[in-house]
Structures are given as structure tokens and as C-alpha cells.
Amino acid sequence: MSTLTASTNGKAPVVGPERRPHDGLVQVQPARLEDLQPKYAQTIKHDEDNPAAHGWYASMRHASVHGLGEFIGCLGSIPCCCCCPNPFKPVNQGEVGLISKFGRFERAVDPGLVKVNPLSERLTTVDVKIQIVEVPRQVCMTKDNVTLNLTSVIYYHVISPHKAAFGISNVRQALIERTQTTLRQVVGARVLQDVIERREEIAQSISEIIEDVATGWGVQVESMLIKDIIFSNDLQDSLSMAAQSKRIGESKVIAARAEVESAKLMRQAADILSSAPAMQIRYLEAMQSMAKTANSKVIFLPAPNQTIQQQLAMAESVGEGPSRYNNPSEQTQTQNTQNIQTNGDDGFQRAINARIVEDIQTSTFSFVFCIYLFSHLYMCRVLKSTNYYPGRLPDIVCSHHNQSSI
């Protein structure tokens, strides 16, 4: 019971997924010794004991000065002694310490606290981390006489601290100057289009050229990148116009291809619509649209049976007609149905023709009577204006009027 109280801090246990003790922590990769900088500690043995090389007086002088420096260093290591220099010097991580004795390189030390003789030794630190150097803007001319402004970046690190410290005065400035010279040389051997399209290839070739020289300086070039390519205003306008013209040409080609495809599709559609089944469908659609109109004087004529007969003939030609199934009763029934449809269509046509003739006769009589009536009324108006009006219509007009009303 006490164990439960201690684990829940006096509260009721919460039912849910089990929580790991490190769920709330940020997971980082732990530091390993091989991930740090390599060991550079070494000692160079000199022939100080050889009198023929340095002389007896020089050897005794070096020994006395070195011994006095050791004594002063011991006094400086005491915290309360402020008059003597402290012999312990720190070397930060990412750096290498180079100790020179009487102006001559003697040994290299790793990061940490290093003891140095105040009188005979000097400590020089060299940064071995990866350095990033931005090369200033460089004016270059291509093979086709086009002026460009290029900016680049170099990534390098020191692999031989003693060469970088004692072999060259300023390795950083030397790399910048070497990169600018190589950049002008490589870009000058290529045309403008090649420089624009093969930027990475140019940077790789420059990096290979610099690396051969930088190795002698104790430096390894990781990579070299071309950061920016800056054109003049006139060159930018010409390049933009060329790109725009290219896009316009491509769009015209695409539009022409689309027109060709649409023409092919329209031709296929025309071929399909000109076939007999398509014409039958269009006929039925036209009949349906005419039937929906409000005009009552439209006369609907039945479709001829020629279309049906053509369809049956086409079906028989491909072997899909009624004769395929060899059923005489069905063939007889089909012929009777066709005869009935033919007789019915003929009777319907005769009835429509008789109705049309009757409507034409009625319309003709009405038209003639209206002309006669209007002419008589006009004559009556003329006679009335000349004070010669009998006062009534002729009998034939009245008789016709009564007959039409009846």
C-alpha cells in the first residue's frame, strides 16, 4: 500500500496507457568520443644535446632559461601569487594547441588545460572546425564575351594544424584568392548557357583544382558552391524575352495539336451521326420537340417503314436477324406485324389527306366571302358619301349573312 502511494504521489492511479519515464524529454543523440575532433597531440624530438648542431653555449643558455621559467611557473600556480604568470593555459574544444619552445615548434596538445613555460614556450591555438568562407562578388567573362558577377561559398577545415599555422601566413585569405582566380579561369572557358545549366559541374571542377593546392597548406576543401549568378539589366531583358518567346512557341504548338485532335474527333462524330441509327434517333428527337410546342396546326407524319426495313436487312446481313433462330412462327408473326403496320399507316395517311382537303375548301370559301363582304361595305360607304344610300344591304348579302350565322 505504501508503494502505491509513493508511485502515485498520494493520488488515485489513472487508468490509461502506460507512460514511460522519458516521454516528456527531448530525445537527443549522446556525445561519442569518435564524433569529437581527432587527437593531434604529438611531440617533436629535437637534437638539443648535440653540441655540433647548436653549440655548448646555446644549449646551456636554453637550459638555464627553461629552468628559470619552470620556477616562475611554479610560483604562478599558487593562487595568492599575483606577480608571477600562471603557467596553465586553456585550449577550447574544436581547437588544437601548438606549443613552440624558443620559437621552434615542439609539440601539439589536445583541448584541455595545458602547462606552458612562461619564459621559453608559447601557445598558439588553431581552429579545426569546418569553416564557411563567402567569396566576394567576382566579375567573370564567359567564352561568348558575356560579363557575369558570381558569388561563391567555400567549406573547408584544417587537417594539419602545424602547416596551417607555420606554413602560410593567412590560409583563409589564400583560399579566397585562389578560388577567385580559378573561378575566372573555369567560367572563361565556357559559354553563358553552359554556365547557367551546369553550375554544379563548374563548382565541382573548381573544388578539385583548389583541393590540390589547399592540401599543401594543411587544409581540406569539403565543397565549393556557386551562390549567385548576377546578370546585367540588358542581359536580363534579353534572356526574359527569349524565355517568353520560347513559352509562346510551345503554347502555339500545343494549341495546334489540340486543334488537330478536335478536328479528328469532329470528323468521327460526323461519321457516326450520318449513319442510319443516328438519323433515326435525330428524327425521334425532332418529333419529340415538335410535340412539346404549343402550335396546334403542326401535322405529325409517321416515319416511313423504309428505315425499319433497312435495319432488318442490315441485321439479316450480319446474321442477327429473325432467320438466325429458325423459328417459322416468329417469322410469320413478324411479317403479319409489318403488314398490319403498313395497312394502318396507309389508312392514317388517307384520313389525314381527306382532312387537309376539307380544311382547304373551307378556308377558300371563307376567304372569297370575306372579299365580297368587304367590297360591298366599301361601295355602301362610297354611296353614302354621295347621298345615294338605299339604307339597307342587298338581299344576297343578308341571305349570305344569315346562312353563315346558321
User: Residue 190 carries which DSSP code?
Assistant: S
209/22 Cα distance (integer angstroms): 50
- The amino acid at residue 110 is D
SS3 110: coil
Question: pLDDT tens-digit profile of 109-156?
Answer: 888 888 888 888 889 999 999 999 999 888 888 888 888 888 999 999
Q: Alpha-carbon distance 201 to 197, whole Å? A: 9
pLDDT tens-digit profile of 269-323?
Answer: 777 766 666 666 666 677 667 666 665 455 555 555 555 566 556 656 656 555 6
Amino acid occupying residue 45: K
Residue 32 Cα distances to 29, 38, 157, angstroms = 9, 12, 20
b/e per residue 285-301 (b: at least 16 CB within 10 A): eeeeeeeeeeeeeeeee
Cβ-based neighbour number of residue 260 at 10 Å: 10
Question: What number is the average pLDDT over the span 321-327?
Answer: 54
Least reliable range by pLDDT among 72-76, 169-173, 323-327, 371-375: 323-327
Q: Does residue 360 register a pLDDT over 60?
A: yes
Q: How far apart are CA 167 and CA 310, in angstroms?
A: 104
- Domain spanning 131-231: which CATH class is it, in words? alpha beta
Q: Which pLDDT band holds residue 401 (cuts at 50, 70, 90)?
A: very low
CA distance 271 to 273: 6
pTM of the model: 0.49
Mean pLDDT of 74-79: 73
